[in-house]
């Protein structure tokens, strides 16, 4: 993994670093540039939220470029956090980071973690191995970052799915290390109470930490809030996870492989990418079984875990498959599901999870998606998405009202 020695490890706050203040603080806010978005209203008996893409969002420094953007989280103050992969950029894209630079203008990679306000202005940025601890001489920063979650205390959780990335790290909002689950280079399978296997996503709420432990392992692992003590792990249908794990290391070509025989929405076990975990407004736990084109829904009752139902997302799809991430409208009425291979965000009615419609399509222009990866929603109902593969961006979709059909 190639890293620039000049950029990744430091913490930068807007208007606090003189070298950056001239650009970030002096640049006037630009007006929204709203673009029509392709959408489909399927169930006309239910009003559907509508959106336009904001082509002016976000506002990065003129010499800075994003790589793949695998994670997204919106905090309680409506600031938007993303995690991105500097290592996914090549020399022609990020020539300013070479020693000596091979280009005279743009670009250099952004740091791994970036925080924006609602207008798209960059508030802070940090990341890199110098912020993470070492254990037995092994730095704990992921080789390939994946998920990000910002909790109610505005601490930041991140994970990775690169070679040896069997760890979840927790930082302050400013990038100071707090604690971790697991450790790089150590994985012990689905039954382990102390190690992980290329975790994909994290949720810290309702008194526990949930980890979608899903690129090498195939499970959800739950840990205590204060001491991160192991609580339980489960597989599909709330059963004990099996012993099967993916061969290491994971590489991106495996995301499109058909070696698993294709999606099986009736499978008794999770597929080989358990991609997201989040709690809904009512405390139910949503899990993205991406390779099986489904979301599984679970409930915690009296200390036990129960399977609630399957939610199928374009179940006939192949390729990178569908159920990539889940978010909710501010009033909790609608569920938004990122569909990676079909390049759209599905809109479901949360009370019964019927499909109301969708927006987006595959493509490279504003309002379109390539390798759609993550989705989240702010308190105003605006939807944000990120893309990996050759997509490499974050997009903002401005809520414009309701379609009555």
Q: CATH number of the domain at 101, please.
A: 2.120.10.30
221 in a structural domain? yes
pLDDT score for 244 = 93
45 in a structural domain? yes
2 in a structural domain? no
pLDDT score for 386 = 98
6 in a structural domain? no
7 in a structural domain? no
pLDDT digits (tens, 9 = 90+) for 22-52: 333 334 445 679 999 999 999 999 999 999 9
Dig out the tokens for 2 from the structure: 């190639």
pLDDT score for 31 = 60
pLDDT digits (tens, 9 = 90+) for 340-395: 999 999 999 999 999 999 999 999 999 999 999 999 999 999 999 999 999 999 99
264 in a structural domain? yes
pLDDT at 296 over 80: yes
Q: Of 78, 109, 58, nearest to 366 (Cα)? A: 58
pLDDT digits (tens, 9 = 90+) for 98-134: 999 998 889 999 999 999 999 999 999 999 999 999 9
pLDDT digits (tens, 9 = 90+) for 235-293: 999 999 999 998 888 888 888 888 888 999 999 999 999 999 999 999 999 999 999 99
Determine which of 3-12, 193-202, 239-248, 344-353 has the lowest per-residue pLDDT on average.
3-12
- Please indicate, yes or no, whether the overall pTM of this predicted structure exceeds 0.85: yes
pLDDT at 20 over 70: no
Number of domains the chain contains: 1
- Domain limits for position 246: 12-403
């Amino acid at each position: 993994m190639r890293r620039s020695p000049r950029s990744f490890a430091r913490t930068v706050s807007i208007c606090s670093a003189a070298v950056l203040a001239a650009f970030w603080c002096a640049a006037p806010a630009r007006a929204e540039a709203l673009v029509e978005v392709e959408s489909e209203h399927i169930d006309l008996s239910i009003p559907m939220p509508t959106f336009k893409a904001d082509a002016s969002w976000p506002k990065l420094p003129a010499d800075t470029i994003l790589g793949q953007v695998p994670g997204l989280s919106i905090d309680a103050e409506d600031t938007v956090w993303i995690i991105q992969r500097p290592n996914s950029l090549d020399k022609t894209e990020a020539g300013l980071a070479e020693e000596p630079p091979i280009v005279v203008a743009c670009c250099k990679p952004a740091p791994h973690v970036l925080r924006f306000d609602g207008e798209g202005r960059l508030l802070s940025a940090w990341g890199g191995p110098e912020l993470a601890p070492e254990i037995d001489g092994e730095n704990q920063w992921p080789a390939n970052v994946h998920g990000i979650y910002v909790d109610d205390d505005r601490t930041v959780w991140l994970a990775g799915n690169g070679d040896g990335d069997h760890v979840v790290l927790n930082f302050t909002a400013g990038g100071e290390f707090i604690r971790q689950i697991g450790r790089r280079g150590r994985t012990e399978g689905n039954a382990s109470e102390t190690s992980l296997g290329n975790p994909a996503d994290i949720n810290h709420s309702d008194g526990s930490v949930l980890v979608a432990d899903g690129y090498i392992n195939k499970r959800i692992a739950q840990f205590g809030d204060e001491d991160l003590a192991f609580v339980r792990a489960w597989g599909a249908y709330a059963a004990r996870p099996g012993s099967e794990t993916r061969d290491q290391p994971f590489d991106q070509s495996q995301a499109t492989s058909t070696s698993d025989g294709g999606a099986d929405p009736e499978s008794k076990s999770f597929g080989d990418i358990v991609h997201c975990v989040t709690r809904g407004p009512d405390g139910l736990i949503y899990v993205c079984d991406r390779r099986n084109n489904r979301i599984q829904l679970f409930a915690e009752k009296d200390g036990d875990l129960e399977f609630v139902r399957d939610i199928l997302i374009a179940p006939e799809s192949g390729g990178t498959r569908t159920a990539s991430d889940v978010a909710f409208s501010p009033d909790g009425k609608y569920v938004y599901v990122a569909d990676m291979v079909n390049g759209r965000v599905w809109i479901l009615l949360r009370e019964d999870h019927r499909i109301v419609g969708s927006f987006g399509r595959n493509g490279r222009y504003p309002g379109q998606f390539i390798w759609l990866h993550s989705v989240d929603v702010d308190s105003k109902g605006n939807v944000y998405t990120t893309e990996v593969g050759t997509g490499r961006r974050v997009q903002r979709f401005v809520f414009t009202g309701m379609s009555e059909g």
